[in-house]
Amino acid sequence: MYYPVFRARRLRETETFRRMVRETRLSVDQLISPLFVAHGRELRREISSMPGQFQLSVDELVREVKDVAALGIPAVMLFGLPASKDAYGSEAYAADGIIQQAIRAIKDTVSDLVVITDVCLCEYTSHGHCGVVEQGRVKNDATLELLARTAVSHAEAGADMVAPSDMMDGRVSALRESLDDNGFEEVPILAYAAKYASVFYGPFRHAADSAPQFGDRRSYQMDPANSDEALREVGLDIEEGADVVMVKPALAFLDVISRVKAEFGVPVAAYNVSGEYAMIKAAGRLGWLDEERAVMEVLTAIRRAGADLILTYFAKDAARILSERR
Ligand code: PBG
């Protein structure tokens, strides 16, 4: 059937028609809000490269998550800024570390909000790498034990889900085994399965003070040129016990999201990362584009590509926009 029998514009004519035939839906249920927590009290320090995002002390974090929950957002992802850093990132797995305190405080006040924790060492190590460094190299197997300890300490504090973002080989099995051994067989793993060595993490490293002090992360994070390799990474993580797999960043990797969803059919998350946030914010502030429309177009595109869940610093904005549309 073709023109003039078929006219594509007929069903584009009114908003009601467009609403009826819309293929992709974005819902607040699919959003996860990433938050940064730091030591101190009444601390709410805006991150200069991420306007509208803050480093929050635990008391402020509790206020923030109440807002997040009130908007209907089901989950947060926590990142911590430790009091001090060392070669082995020991605050990452300290019982009274910043994340462990934050989890307890959230669970005490907004207990039904899902608390997901980022499991990595880079915010906690003096060298800023995601693992143990020996002779200038990031050691895979020595790192696994520290990651597993971190995940267990988060679960002990009450985390609902743990999310390893380090890209060491074998970390999903290491976490699964340690969680199970410690009685946390019910705690799911969201694996940053296809995490690329991306320039778009720039503002995050500033926010979390986690830039590597030498070299870069290309010996563990993926080459942005590869997508067959992403399928292999995702497949391995699923075999090792990942419950949700993540592709990160989102926008330059929509094809990867799409391939992963088509190939595996498991819950897929996508991380709309700090640099993606910063670009829209900057252009919006300069009056170069309409921020609200840009946010919704991008989040819808990530859904259309196949993501079930989206981690985004725009979560609160999107939740507000979605509720105004009803
Ligand atoms: C830690 C981690 C990073 C991000 C999430 N977890 C930074 C990195 O790998 O350097 C980036 C998130 C963002 O840019 O929003 N490994």
Domain boundaries, the chain: 25-324
Please tell me the predicted confidence (pLDDT) of residue 75.
Answer: 98
Tell me, yes or no, if 66 is annotated catalytic: no
Catalytic status, residue 261: no
Tokens of 292: 């609200």
Return the number of other C-beta atoms located less than 10 Å from residue 286's C-beta. 8
Pocket test for ligand 1, best of 53, 165, 276 (most atoms within 8 A of CB): 165
Which regions of the chain are under pLDDT 70?
326
pLDDT recorded at residue 190: 98
What digits encode the pLDDT tens for the residues 302-318? Answer: 999 999 999 999 999 99
CATH topology of domain 25-324: TIM Barrel (3.20.20)
Pocket of ligand 1 (CB under 6 A): 118, 120, 122, 130, 165, 201, 204-205, 217, 273-274
Of how many residues is the chain composed?
Answer: 326
pLDDT of residue 247: 98
256-290 pLDDT per residue, tens:
999 999 999 999 999 999 999 999 999 999 999 99
pLDDT of amino acid 223: 98
pLDDT at 325: 85
Q: Give the alpha-carbon dihedral of 273, 276, 280, 282, to 10 degrees.
A: 100
Amino acid 73: pLDDT: 98
Q: What does pTM read for this prediction?
A: 0.97
Half-sphere exposure of 175 (CA within 13 A, CB side): 35
Rounded to the nearest angstrom, the distance between the alpha carbon of 262 and the centre of ligand 1 is 25
